[in-house]
């Protein structure tokens, strides 16, 4: 099954994968193509049978922005990265942060509930203290939740990829951070070890009232020991919590802003130690790779054990922005010591023996390397090489000389050639070869193959890649 795993016109990033019963459910934000901000659409849920991850069922709109009471006076909020947990009462609770004109920056964390894992969900309330005050300590961002044998733990937070302890920044640290966090200088000073931390609190049975905490559980670069590995892979955002074999795994986006790192502990609320990187959506660090293979942008995802196997779900950028992201999935290996081997971003995804035949969108590539890295944004970036929608089709657009497009790993044992649908005036090679007189690139039939397209001269779009038997 190729990446991205959902339909090519679907943009579901920040994915939390959970097995409930005999199905795995995907909860995430909901972007739009050509978007100019994060999470423009209502929430949706996809699910698949745990024994067949090649067929994903859409459950449509499962929670609308106008259901949240912070959407008032015609001003809807945007729903950021959610997570879902099964409560002790048998209902399903969706935790999220809304961002809009009627919300405070970085908060509150809100909760919706449903009798079914796929929804529809109804607003329940904002996470609050016993006296009713809304919980806003630390940076209320990217909530993730664990039902640990009946005890409910909520993790969340936001950091920065830089160290504020420099001589230049230290004198103005509190004031600068107050502006960034939109919190008072007093609150910044009193929140220890730093307001830029991953935090955890325990919730009551009602799933919205704080029972204990919150407290910091993982450091950002501002508080990490400079001699530690964590300092080079500090907490930035996107926490995701799991418990495997009695060990707590806290997965997060590091300060590099392209990799999912993780820390583990024997306890849910302390002593987390950095263990490594699970995946990068530009393949940085994989087998010591130092050259980005994609303009990666943000990353947010999760790890889930599905039918006895471990998988990482993450997202890739399209349209040269951080605002149109698509879900991808790879199988990963847990070693005897409980650590994970770093996974590679691939086209084949979870189907390591994907036998290709026929025509596919060229946009299922796992790598789009440009002559000069493209800084993700809006505006002029839209005319640079990218994955994008044109006329309802997802394609590779505005490719120029020096672009390299990769497809890993394919079963080509029944293929003799490749044909590309190219629009424009360009010379393109496939695995270093030019096409024959029929426009077919001859290839070597083999399994676990990588196909690489290179634009040698000119400018073009590539719409499809066809594998000819």
Tens digits of per-residue pLDDT, 44-102? 999 999 999 999 999 999 999 999 998 887 678 899 999 999 999 999 999 999 987 65
In a domain? residue 344: no
In a domain? residue 69: yes
Co-location of 107 and 73 in the same domain: yes
In a domain? residue 350: no
Co-location of 207 and 321 in the same domain: yes
More confident residue, 400 or 161: 400
In a domain? residue 440: yes
pLDDT at 381 over 80: no
pLDDT at position 354: 87
Co-location of 362 and 328 in the same domain: no
pLDDT at position 103: 64
CA atoms of 151 and 35, how far apart (whole Å) = 39
Co-location of 303 and 432 in the same domain: no
In a domain? residue 340: no
Co-location of 86 and 203 in the same domain: yes
Co-location of 390 and 433 in the same domain: yes
Co-location of 325 and 205 in the same domain: yes
In a domain? residue 75: yes
In a domain? residue 203: yes
Co-location of 321 and 376 in the same domain: no
pLDDT at 424 over 70: yes
Annotated active-site residue 14? The verdict is yes
Q: Are the CB atoms for 10 and 324 separated by under 8 Å?
A: no
Annotated active-site residue 293? The verdict is no
DSSP 375-389: PP-SSGGGGSSEEEE
> 235-289, pLDDT tens digit by residue?
999 999 999 999 999 999 999 999 999 999 999 999 999 999 999 999 999 999 9
Q: Which domain holds residue 224?
A: 16-332
**pLDDT-derived band at 42, boundaries 50, 70, 90:** very high
Co-location of 299 and 438 in the same domain: no
> 13-23, pLDDT tens digit by residue?
999 999 999 99
Strands 417-430 and 441-442: antiparallel
More confident residue, 465 or 354: 465
CA atoms of 465 and 318, how far apart (whole Å) = 18
Task: Share the mean pLDDT of the chain.
Answer: 93
Whole-prediction pTM value? Answer: 0.95
Co-location of 41 and 141 in the same domain: yes
Name the domain count of the chain.
2
Co-location of 391 and 319 in the same domain: no
Q: Which of 68, 126, 219, 237 is catalytic?
A: 237
User: For the residues 294-318, what does the mean pLDDT come to?
Assistant: 95
pLDDT at 168 over 80: no
Q: Are the CB atoms for 288 and 352 separated by under 8 Å?
A: no
Q: Which two tokens stand for residue 434?
A: 């030019």
CATH number of the domain to which 459 belongs = 2.60.120.260
Co-location of 50 and 180 in the same domain: yes
pLDDT at 171 over 90: no
In a domain? residue 7: no
Q: Which two tokens stand for residue 324?
A: 């149109």
Q: Which of 14, 78, 269, 454 is catalytic?
A: 14
pLDDT at 169 over 80: no
CATH number of the domain to which 199 belongs = 2.115.10.20
């Amino acid at each position: 099954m190729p990446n991205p795993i959902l339909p090519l016109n679907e943009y579901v990033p920040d994915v939390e994968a959970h097995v409930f019963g005999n199905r795995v459910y995907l909860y995430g934000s909901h972007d739009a193509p050509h978007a100019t901000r994060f999470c423009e659409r209502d929430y949706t849920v996809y699910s698949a049978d745990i024994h067949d991850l090649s067929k994903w069922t859409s459950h449509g709109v499962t929670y609308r922005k106008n259901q949240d009471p912070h959407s008032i006076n015609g001003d809807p909020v945007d729903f950021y990265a959610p997570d879902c947990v099964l409560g002790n009462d048998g209902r399903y609770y969706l935790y999220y942060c809304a961002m809009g004109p009627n919300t405070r920056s970085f908060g509150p964390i809100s909760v919706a509930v449903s009798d079914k894992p796929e929804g529809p969900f109804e607003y329940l309330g904002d996470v609050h203290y016993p006296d009713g005050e809304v919980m806003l300590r630390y940076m209320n961002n990217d909530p993730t939740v664990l039902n640990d044998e009946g005890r409910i733990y909520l993790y969340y937070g936001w950091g920065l990829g830089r160290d504020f302890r420099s001589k230049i920044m230290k004198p103005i640290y509190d004031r600068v951070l107050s502006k960034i966090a939109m919190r008072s200088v007093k609150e910044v000073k009193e929140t220890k070890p730093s307001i830029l931390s991953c935090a955890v609190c325990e919730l009551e049975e009602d799933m919205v009232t704080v029972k204990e905490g919150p407290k910091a559980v993982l450091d950002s670069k501002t508080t990490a020991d400079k001699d530690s590995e964590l300092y080079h892979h500090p907490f930035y955002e996107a926490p995701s919590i799991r418990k495997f074999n009695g060990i707590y795994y806290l997965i997060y986006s590091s300060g590099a802003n392209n990799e999912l790192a993780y820390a583990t502990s024997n306890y849910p609320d302390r002593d987390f130690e950095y263990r490594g990187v699970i995946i990068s959506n530009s393949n940085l660090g994989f087998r010591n790779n130092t050259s980005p293979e994609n303009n990666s942008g943000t990353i947010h995802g999760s790890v889930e054990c599905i039918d006895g196997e471990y998988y990482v779900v993450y997202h890739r950028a399209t349209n040269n922005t951080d605002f149109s992201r698509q879900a991808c999935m790879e199988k990963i290996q847990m070693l005897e010591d409980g650590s994970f081997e770093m996974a590679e971003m691939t086209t084949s995804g979870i189907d390591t023996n994907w036998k290709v035949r026929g025509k596919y969108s060229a946009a299922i590539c796992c790598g789009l390397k440009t002559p000069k890295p493209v800084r993700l944004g809006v505006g002029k970036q839209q005319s640079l090489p990218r994955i994008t929608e044109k006329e309802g089709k997802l394609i590779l657009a505005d490719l120029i000389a020096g672009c390299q497009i990769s497809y890993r790993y394919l079963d080509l044992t029944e293929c003799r050639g490749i044909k590309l649908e190219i629009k424009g005036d360009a010379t393109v090679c496939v695995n270093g070869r030019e096409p024959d007189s029929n426009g077919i690139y001859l290839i070597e039939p083999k399994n676990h193959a990588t196909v690489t397209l290179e634009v040698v001269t000119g400018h073009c779009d590539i719409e499809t890649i066809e594998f000819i038997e």
